[in-house]
Amino acid sequence: MTHLIDNRDGHDPFLNLALEEYCVRTCGPDDRFLLLYVNDPVVVIGKHQNPFREADHAFLKQNNIALVRRISGGGAVYHDNGNLNFSLIARFDRRQFGRFDAYYQPIVEFLQQLGLPACLTAKRDIMVNGAKISGNARFTDMKTMLCHGTLLFNADLPVLARVLASDTPIEHAQGSRSVRSRVANIQALAARTLTHSDFKSGLLAALTAPCGALTPLQPTPAQWRAIRHLSRIKYESWDWNYGKTPDFTVRQVLRAGGPAARIHVRKGRFAAIEWDTSGPPPAANKLWQQWRGRHFDPLAARFQVSAQVDAT
């Protein structure tokens, strides 16, 4: 039996990811679960990624776009109201965990019915004529497994390209890095005119076909309280979204021909700062005492380092 999880048509990315994880951790192992949702503008990074290497933080701030880390691996993606996101939750099966076609093939076939020559790559992307229309990832706790992804229906592609271009001059970094691909919208590629509502209904029917009718599942008030709590303490927290960042080093060139600083960041916090041979040690020492242990902020680092040098 497959249950369709009701998210109350919520567009809060933190709450939707909390709902997804709550279902993975608590849903019974004998059934399958499906969640479809649309998020407000947000950059969603993989569990092992560096948010400063994956997004333009000045652009995020200027355009009120959120950033959140998910529990699965893979690369960074951009969600907005033109995306449709899906989550498939089932009992863990070691034989099936590496077979992506079992979970994504109904989506590929549905897209083909729309006139798109869609195919699934070895990296779990769904492509049409060399353009990526869906990025996917997976997670398991060895009891339950999650396969989820996002479908670009009529997303704002110029914003997607802009927001996923890092503005932080990272010199060395650990963690996985996204592989950029050419992307396209399903609506623009489809052989017939299609609304977002039509697309969602068709996708739902395609995902239902292999397993029979869907049974609606509405979380109880107590479950929603637990989901909101998980959203607050994890998905909305600095510790999860930035504190889990693998170690990295930023090289900040202050001005043409001037000194450069190397800022070492550990667990999302300023850990050390080094200047090249032309840099001012007194200023460096003063700056280090102010910054040590604070949350790394690429915008503050850029301006405060420059100000410190100018004052020397």
Cβ within 8 Å of residue 45, ≥6 positions away? 51, 54, 55, 67, 68, 69, 70, 75, 76
Amino acid at the residue 2: T
DSSP string, the chain: -EEEE--TT---HHHHHHHHHHHHHHS-TTSEEEEEE--SSEEEE-TTB-HHHHS-HHHHHHTT-EEEE-SS-S--EEE-TTEEEEEEEEE--HHHHT-THHHHHHHHHHHHHTT--EEE-TTS-EEETTEEEEEEEEEE-SSEEEEEEEEESS--HHHHHHHTS--S-EEEE-SB------B--HHHHSSS---HHHHHHHHHHHHHGGG--EEEE---HHHHHHHHHHIIIIIT-HHHHTTTPPPEEEEEE-STTS-EEEEEEETTEEEEEEE-TTS-HHHHHHHHHHHTTSBP-HHHHHHHHHHHHHT-
Please report, for the domain that includes residue 105, its CATH number: 3.30.930.10
Residues 190 and 296 in one domain: no
The structure's pTM equals 0.92
pLDDT at 272: 86
Residues 15 and 153 in one domain: yes
Q: Maximum distance among all alpha carbons in the chain?
A: 72
Residues 197 and 255 in one domain: no
Residues 306 and 172 in one domain: no
pLDDT at 251: 86
| Encoded tokens for 190 | 């489809």
pLDDT at 278: 61
Residues 102 and 45 in one domain: yes
Residue pair 74/46 in contact by the 8 Å Cβ criterion: yes
pLDDT at 292: 84
Structural domain harbouring 151: 2-241
Cβ within 8 Å of residue 172, ≥6 positions away? 248, 249
Cα distance between residue 234 and residue 19, in whole Å: 12
Q: What does the pLDDT look like over 189-236, one tens digit per residue? A: 998 899 999 999 999 999 887 666 789 999 999 999 999 999 999 999
- Measure the CA angle with vertex 9, ends 3 and 11; round to 5°: 120
Residues 273 and 195 in one domain: no
Residues 258 and 222 in one domain: no
Burial annotation 123-146 (CB, 10 A radius, 16+ → b, else e): ebbbbbeeebbbbbbbbbeeebbb
Residues 222 and 295 in one domain: no
pLDDT at 255: 59
Residues 207 and 286 in one domain: no
Domain end (from 220, 241, 262): 241
Residue pair 215/2 in contact by the 8 Å Cβ criterion: yes
Residues 178 and 104 in one domain: yes
Domain end (from 219, 241, 263): 241
Structural domains in the chain (count): 2
Residues 209 and 278 in one domain: no
Domain end (from 200, 218, 241): 241
Question: For 258, how many CA atoms within 13 A lie in the half-sphere containing its CB?
Answer: 15
CB-CB neighbours of 168 under 10 Å: 24
Q: Which residues of the chain have pLDDT under 50?
A: 309, 312
Residues 226 and 289 in one domain: no
